[in-house]
């Protein structure tokens, strides 16, 4: 099966500019996550969707970050305006969304490496 697709792979922007990332999940995966991973740290959850509803966005900086999942499939994450500290890899992951191991086995996309100058 095809994996999680993300684009772009790399992005360089200046602070105060805006940027958007796109994620296409594995077919049939109901749960979609966006993570921020800073070098040397573990992935940090930004937002979790179940189908097209938000399950958890408690760590999303809502003054500058937004995300949506249209029709429960593709998702976009936007940053506006970007700050220097937003430089990180943004990972999209998906899982089946059912109980048990299928829920907790997450499949990650290749990520988008964002550099804010």
Q: Which residues bind other proteins (CB under 8 A)?
A: 33, 35, 40-45, 48, 56, 91, 93, 100-101, 104-111
**Residue 3 Cβ vs other proteins, minimum distance, rounded to whole Å:** 9
**Residue 81 Cβ vs other proteins, minimum distance, rounded to whole Å:** 26
**Nearest to 32, CA basis, from 46, 20, 50, 18:** 50
Q: Which is nearer to other proteins, 22 or 108 (CB)?
A: 108
Rounded Cα distance, 34 and 92, in Å:
5
**Residue 110 Cβ vs other proteins, minimum distance, rounded to whole Å:** 5
**Residue 12 Cβ vs other proteins, minimum distance, rounded to whole Å:** 17
Rounded Cα distance, 22 and 7, in Å:
5
**Complete DSSP assignment for 7-60:** E-SEEEE-TT--EEEEEEPPTT--EEEEEEE-TTS--EEEEEEETTEEEE-TTS
| Residues ≥6 apart with Cβ < 8 Å to 41 | none
């Amino acid at each position: 099966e095809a994996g999680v697709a993300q684009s772009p792979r790399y992005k360089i922007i200046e602070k105060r500019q805006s940027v958007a990332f796109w994620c296409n999940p594995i077919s049939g995966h109901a749960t979609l996550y966006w993570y921020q991973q800073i070098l040397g740290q573990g992935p940090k959850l930004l937002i979790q969707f179940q189908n097209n509803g938000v399950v958890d966005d408690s760590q999303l900086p809502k003054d500058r970050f937004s995300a949506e999942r249209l029709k429960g499939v593709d998702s976009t994450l936007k940053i506006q305006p970007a700050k220097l500290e937003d430089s990180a890899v943004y990972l999209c992951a998906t899982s089946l969304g059912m109980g048990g191991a299928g829920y907790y086995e997450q499949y990650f996309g290749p990520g988008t490496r964002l550099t804010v100058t």
